[in-house]
Amino acid sequence: MARRGPQGGGGAKRDRILRAAIMIFSRKGYFNSKISEIARQAGVADGTIYLYFKNKDDLLISLFEEKMGEVVADVRARVAEGGDALSRLRIFIRNHMDLLVREAGLIEVLQVELRQSNKFMKEYVPVKFLEYLDIISGILEDGQKEGIFRRDLNVTLARRAIFGALDEISLAYVLSRKRKYDPAEAAEEIYRIFAAGLKDSVPSEGGR
């Protein structure tokens, strides 16, 4: 079970391959990336990759799960430092945007390939990604208990909205080479929108 390469554990070579894959996948996308390119980038032979990964798909999945796992563990720790739900929401948002700088390649792969993957990996469930979303749910539910957020807020929907907003802004950032805005400022603006949006309510049969 869970045997995954010559040494069995997390070898340096395995990690070199994973890093190379992030680099190549993020540049060209999964389908346009060749195993031989990844091998070259990692400084190993084509065949070596198959000592550590079952096939090309497995390489992508391992990348999703392992790297995303690190990200999730990291955010959890950071968010735990926050006080009330509002400040924790802010930390979460801020952290997400900071990831763009720290882990640009990884984020780029996740953003583009995670969607695609549903189409060609029928069996795969992105566990770690769901955990990431659960962190948001947790904050929202706590906020309701604390009386900060609306009680009738649909948490499932709201967490998706928050993630979607962050994701889309990250995407725009990553794609435009111009870097039109600063991630930290963006985080603050997004925080303001949601902090106000989750808190108060607006007449349901609104404007004219």
Partner DNA sequence: TCCGATTGAATGAACCATCATTCACTAAAT
Partner DNA sequence: ATTTAGTGAATGATGGTTCATTCAATCGGA
Interface with its own copies (CB under 8 A): 27-29, 31-32, 82-87, 90, 111-112, 115-116, 118-120, 153-154, 156-158, 160-169, 171-172, 175, 180-181, 185-186, 188-202, 204, 206-208
Binding to DNA, residues 102-131 (CB under 7 A): none
Tell me which of its own copies, DNA, none is bound by residue 115, counting a contact when its beta carbon lies within the kind-specific cut-off of 5 to 8 angstroms.
Answer: its own copies
State which of residues 10, 15, 32, 189 lies at the interface with DNA (CB under 7 A). Answer: 32
State which of residues 18, 25, 26, 48 lies at the interface with DNA (CB under 7 A). Answer: 48
Give percent helix, percent strand, percent coil of the chain, each to the nearest 5. 70, 0, 30
Which residue, among 91, 73, 99, has the nearest Cα to 167 in the 3D structure?
99
- Please count the residues of this chain forming the interface with DNA, following the rule CB under 7 A: 20
Instruction: By CB under 7 A, tell whether 55 contacts DNA.
Output: yes
Instruction: By CB under 7 A, tell whether 26 contacts DNA.
Output: no
Judged on CB neighbours under 10 Å (0-12, 13-18, 19+), 71 is buried
Shortest Å distance, C-beta 47 to DNA: 2
Q: Are 18 and 58 in contact (CB under 8 A)?
A: no
CA distances from 83 to 4, 10, 86, 88, 135 (A): 40, 36, 8, 6, 15
Tokens 């079952």 belong to 54
Shortest Å distance, C-beta 37 to DNA: 7
CB nearer to its own copies: pick between 3 and 177: 177
CA distances from 181 to 71, 92, 108, 161 (A): 23, 19, 17, 21
Tell me which of its own copies, DNA, none is bound by residue 36, counting a contact when its beta carbon lies within the kind-specific cut-off of 5 to 8 angstroms.
Answer: DNA
State which of residues 4, 50, 137, 171 lies at the interface with DNA (CB under 7 A). Answer: 50
Number of alpha helices (DSSP H) and beta strands (DSSP E) in the chain: 9, 0
Tell me which of DNA, its own copies, none is bound by residue 199, counting a contact when its beta carbon lies within the kind-specific cut-off of 5 to 8 angstroms.
Answer: its own copies
- Dihedral angle computed from the Cα positions of residues 48, 32, 63 and 73, in that order, rounded to the nearest 10 degrees: 150
CB nearer to DNA: pick between 34 and 199: 34
Residue 156 CA to residue 137 CA, distance in Å, equals 7
Residue 44 CA to residue 47 CA, distance in Å, equals 8
Shortest Å distance, C-beta 162 to its own copies: 8
State which of residues 10, 15, 36, 130 lies at the interface with DNA (CB under 7 A). Answer: 36
